[in-house]
Amino acid sequence: MPYKTSFMDMAYPDETGRPCALQFRIALTATTERLAIVHLLETKAEYQG
């Protein structure tokens, strides 16, 4: 990948409204038609136990 961001944290509510967390980064391809790839990595935040 010619460019990718560092992983960043994101918190969001699940289906029941409880907080969840994951990390994400965005990568751009070097193809003629530039594509963005979003990489999601499931993690457990400290408050999730």
3-state helix, strand, coil in the chain (%, to 5): 5, 50, 45
Strand 3-4 vs strand 19-28: parallel, antiparallel, or unpaired?
antiparallel
Per-residue pLDDT at 28: 95
Q: What pLDDT digit, counting tens, does each position of 4-49 carry?
A: 999 999 988 989 998 888 999 999 999 999 999 999 998 765 655 5
Q: pTM of the entire structure?
A: 0.67
Number of domains in the chain: 1
At 1, is the pLDDT very low, low, confident or very high (cuts 50, 70, 90)?
A: low
Domain interval for residue 21 = 3-48
Per-residue pLDDT at 36: 95
